[in-house]
């Protein structure tokens, strides 16, 4: 199983699936805001909390059914699960929702894509067997160029800076990257599925508490809205579980580089489901840059 999960084709397929699922969250969350009548930041954070708490519960149920017993962590695992949940789920998404409310979607997508670079950098600084190489640097640069191209409209990007907007989104990137490195370390000592389930539940519950403290409330509940929330929870459970398993058996850089595909899928799926324009030359150029960047990093990994 370990050898199969380290196969380049398998990593490509599973990582691409994760990015596709996370990319689908962009239009799904926007549709969810409409279905639930969500208009405030507090309600957005609360909505995120419900999503990730449900994702954790779903992952826990699947894990318990798979091992044919109640999936419970060992006493010494709680610290790892709490710290990962607070960093990878709570901090990442509280900064994301507040930051997104104070900057443009274009800048948010570009800034968020830098989490891939931070993940590779942190892995180099923290993990002994992960070195920053020329191929990784060029791959990250190409990935960033691809993300910037896909977000360019009219040839310009707003250059103004907002601490609560752009600043918080950079904190999202740091939390996401740190979470990836922590996952790589923690999965060497803990079961990846149990770790995923509890970190999602812990992070989600804290998000719910923060959302309530911010005055958030969701009163408009419909069947379509609940079904959409169920989909968001399911995609988070699937994507985080697969991503965690990949990080357990592969270098952070080899997995993280696929993160550049998330905004590409986000733009394409937003076009399909939200009616936004997406069929253009810049999409193809962006995808080409991201693909070459991924290929470079994987080629380098194959030589190590």
Q: What is the pLDDT of residues 233-266, one digit of tens each?
A: 999 999 999 999 999 999 888 898 888 788 778 7
Q: Cα separation of 36 and 32, whole Å? A: 6
**Low-confidence winner among 87-101, 205-219, 261-275 (lowest mean pLDDT):** 261-275
Tell me what pLDDT residue 45 has: 93
Tell me what pLDDT residue 279 has: 67
Average pLDDT of the segment spanning 162-187: 88
Q: Which residue has the higher pLDDT, 99 or 258?
A: 258
Average pLDDT of the segment spanning 116-144: 84
Average pLDDT of the segment spanning 103-120: 71
Q: Taking 90 as the threshold, does the pLDDT of residue 147 lie above it?
A: no
Q: Cα separation of 161 and 83, whole Å? A: 30
Q: Taking 70 as the threshold, does the pLDDT of residue 199 lie above it?
A: yes
In whole angstroms, how far apart are CA 113 and each of 177, 179, 222, 247? 11, 15, 33, 18
Helices (H) and strands (E) in the chain, counts: 14, 0
pTM of the model: 0.85
Is-contact 245 195, C-beta < 8 A? no
**Low-confidence winner among 56-65, 87-96, 154-163, 168-177 (lowest mean pLDDT):** 154-163
Tell me what pLDDT residue 193 has: 94
> Of the segments 30-34, 71-75, 95-99, 204-208, which one has the largest average pLDDT value?
204-208
Tell me what pLDDT residue 181 has: 93
The first and second tokens of residue 285, run together, are 């150029």
User: Residues near 256 by Cβ (< 8 Å), separated by ≥ 6?
Assistant: 115, 116, 119, 120, 123, 177, 180
Q: Taking 80 as the threshold, does the pLDDT of residue 1 lie above it?
A: no
Tell me what pLDDT residue 78 has: 95
Q: Which residue has the higher pLDDT, 105 or 81?
A: 81
pLDDT range class, residue 110, cuts 50, 70, 90: low
pLDDT range class, residue 128, cuts 50, 70, 90: confident
């Amino acid at each position: 199983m370990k050898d199969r999960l380290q196969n380049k084709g398998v990593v490509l397929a599973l990582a691409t699936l994760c990015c596709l699922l996370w990319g689908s969250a962009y239009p799904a969350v926007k549709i969810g805001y409409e279905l639930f009548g969500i208009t405030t930041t507090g309600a957005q954070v609360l909505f995120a909390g419900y999503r990730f708490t449900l994702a954790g519960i779903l992952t826990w149920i699947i894990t318990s059914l798979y091992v044919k017993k109640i999936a419970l962590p060992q006493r010494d695992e709680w610290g790892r699960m709490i710290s990962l949940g607070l960093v990878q789920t709570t901090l990442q998404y509280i900064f994301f929702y507040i930051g997104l409310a104070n900057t443009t979607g274009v800048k948010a997508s570009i800034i968020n894509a830098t989490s891939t670079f931070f993940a590779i950098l942190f892995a180099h600084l923290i993990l002994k067997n992960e070195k920053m190489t020329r191929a990784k640097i060029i791959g990250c640069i190409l990935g960033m160029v691809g993300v910037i191209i896909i977000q360019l409209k009219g040839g310009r990007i707003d250059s103004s800076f907002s601490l609560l907007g752009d600043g918080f989104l950079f904190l999202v990137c740091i939390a996401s990257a740190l979470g990836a490195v922590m996952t790589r370390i923690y999965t060497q000592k803990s079961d990846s599925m149990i770790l995923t389930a509890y970190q999602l539940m812990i992070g989600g519950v804290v998000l719910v508490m923060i959302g309530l403290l911010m005055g958030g409330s969701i009163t408009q509940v419909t069947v379509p809205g609940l079904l959409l929330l169920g989909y968001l929870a399911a995609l988070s459970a699937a994507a985080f579980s697969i991503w965690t398993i990949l990080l357990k058996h592969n270098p952070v850089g080899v997995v993280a580089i696929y993160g550049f595909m998330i905004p590409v899928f986000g733009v394409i799926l937003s076009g399909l489901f939200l009616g936004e324009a997406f069929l253009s030359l810049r999409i193809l150029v962006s995808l080409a840059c991201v693909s070459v960047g991924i290929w470079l990093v994987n080629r380098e990994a194959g030589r190590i």
